[in-house]
Amino acid sequence: MFNGSPFHPLRRNPYLFLLALTVLLFSACQPGEKVAPAAPKYHPGHYVAVGPHFDLTEIKHLDEPAVRGVNKRYFWRTLEPGKGEYDLSSIEEDLAYCAEHDKQLIVFLCDRSFWIRGAMPAYLKAYEWEHEGGGGFTPARWHPEYLARFTAMGEAIAQQFDGHPNFEGIAIQETALDMPEAGLAKFNFSPEKYRDALYLILDTLTASFPNSQVFWYQNGIQGSNALIREIADSISVKENIVMGGPDVLPHRRWLRHTYKIYGDYREKLTLFCSVQDDSYRHHKNDVRLSEKQPVHEEGYLTMEEIFLYAKEEMHVQYLFWNHYYEGLERGERSFDEAIEVIRANPAFNQPPTK
C-alpha cells in the first residue's frame, strides 16, 4: 500500500499509518475478490461535465463520437445519507445510461459546497466550516474522523463499480480550502497535516480502484503550495492516477503556480483539466474573480484557444467541458461552440511513458 521509504508521509505520521493499515485490512475483508488488471481502464479525451442531480438525458451532443464520456458531480451526503448507509443508486443509473451510449462515467465525489447547504453527510457536520454569507462549507480533510469516513465512502463505490467497463474512475474535489484563520485554528490545521491527509486519500483510493483511474484536482495547499509537489512526487509511481485542476484560465494570475506543475510532471503523470463556466467567458483582462475588469478589446478567448492552451501548455490527456449555456444572453461561448472544437480534435496528447 505504500513504499518503504522512511520519508514517506505515512511513516512520518503514526496515526495515518494505523489508519491506512485499517483501511487496507477493511478492504481485504470485503466480499468479492478483486483481481488487479494488467492495466487500469484508460479512455482519455473529451468529457462533458455536469453538476449534482443533473439528468444525463438532457446532455446535448452526448452521442458525438469525439465525446468519450461524462464527468458528473455527486454530493457525498446523497451517497451516504447515514453513517455507513450507502445509496449508490444514482451512480448505478447514470452508469447504465452511459453504457447504453457507449460512454465512460467519472464519479466526481464532492465533499465541499459553494452554497447554503453542505456537501457532507449530516453526521460529519462537526468537521466542516460554514463560511459567512452563504459562501458554502469547507471540510477539515485532515481530521482523523473525516479521513476514516471518506476512505470508507471510496471503498463502497469501488466495491460496486470498479470492475464495470464503463466506470472510468473517481475524482476528488480541488485541494484549495479558502478557509479563514478561525476555521484553520478550530481544526488544528497545518500544511503538513493536510499534505499527509491528501496522500493517504490518494494512496487508499488507488488501492481501492485497481481497475480504474483516480482523478486528483490540485490547486495549492493553504500556507505552502510547494507541498503539492511532494504529493505529486509520491504518486508518480502509480499507474492509475491522473493529476489536474479545476480551471483552464490562461490569464488568471493566481493560477500560474498551478499551471507550471503541468509542464514539470508531463513525463511522470497523466494529466487533466476542466473548461468550466469561467473558461467560457475568459478574456485577457480576466485576472481574477474578485476584480471587475472590463472585457478585453479582443473579446473572449475562443473555445479553440482554450483547447490549444490545455493541449499545448498544460499537456493534458483528459479534458472536461462544462455543459454550459447560461451566458448566451451576454454573448458568451456555450457547449454548442465547444462541441465544434471537440469534433475537430477527437484525440490529443499521448500519456507519459513510465
Superfamily grouping for domain 16-24+41-344: Glycosidases (3.20.20.80)
pLDDT digits (tens, 9 = 90+) for 208-262: 999 999 999 999 999 998 999 999 999 999 999 999 999 999 999 888 888 999 9
pLDDT of 9 > 70? The answer is no
pLDDT in tens, 36-75: 556 899 999 999 999 999 999 999 999 999 999 999 999 9
Residue 175 has pLDDT above 50, yes or no: yes
Q: 23-27, 224-228, 259-263, 312-316 — which is least confidently predicted?
A: 23-27
Tens digit of each residue's pLDDT (9 = 90 or more) over 180-212: 999 999 999 999 999 999 999 999 999 999 999
- Residue 105 C-beta-side C-alpha neighbours within 13 Å: 26
Q: For the chain, how far is it from start to end, CA to CA, in angstroms?
A: 19
Write the DSSP symbol of residue 329. G
- DSSP notation for 90-103: HHHHHHHHHHHTT-
pLDDT value, residue 309: 97
Give the separation between CA 15 and CA 21, rounded to whole angstroms: 10
pTM for the full predicted model: 0.90
**So where are the chain's domains?**
16-24+41-344
**Helix boundaries (H) for 251-349:** 256-265, 277-280, 303-308, 335-344
pLDDT, position 351: 87
Contacts of 287 (CB under 8 A, 6+ apart): 251, 252, 253, 293
With a pLDDT cut of 90, the percent of the chain lying above it is: 78
Comparison of pLDDT for 326 and 205, the residue scoring more: 205
What are the φ and ψ backbone dihedral angles of 144, each rounded to 5 degrees? -55, -40
C-alpha span between 322 and 283 (Å, rounded): 18
Looking only at the bridges linking them, the beta strands covering 137-139 and 128-130 are antiparallel
Confidence of residue 329 (pLDDT cuts 50, 70, 90): confident
Most confident of 116-120, 151-155, 329-333: 151-155
Q: Which helix (H) or strand (E) holds 150?
A: helix 144-161
Annotate 209-226 with b (16+ C-beta within 10 A) or e (fewer). Answer: bbbbbbbbbbbbbbeebe
The answer to which of 71-80, 90-99, 323-332 has the lowest mean pLDDT is 323-332
Helices then strands, counting H and E runs in the chain, come out as 12, 10
Q: Which three three-digit cell numbers place residue 262? A: 503541468
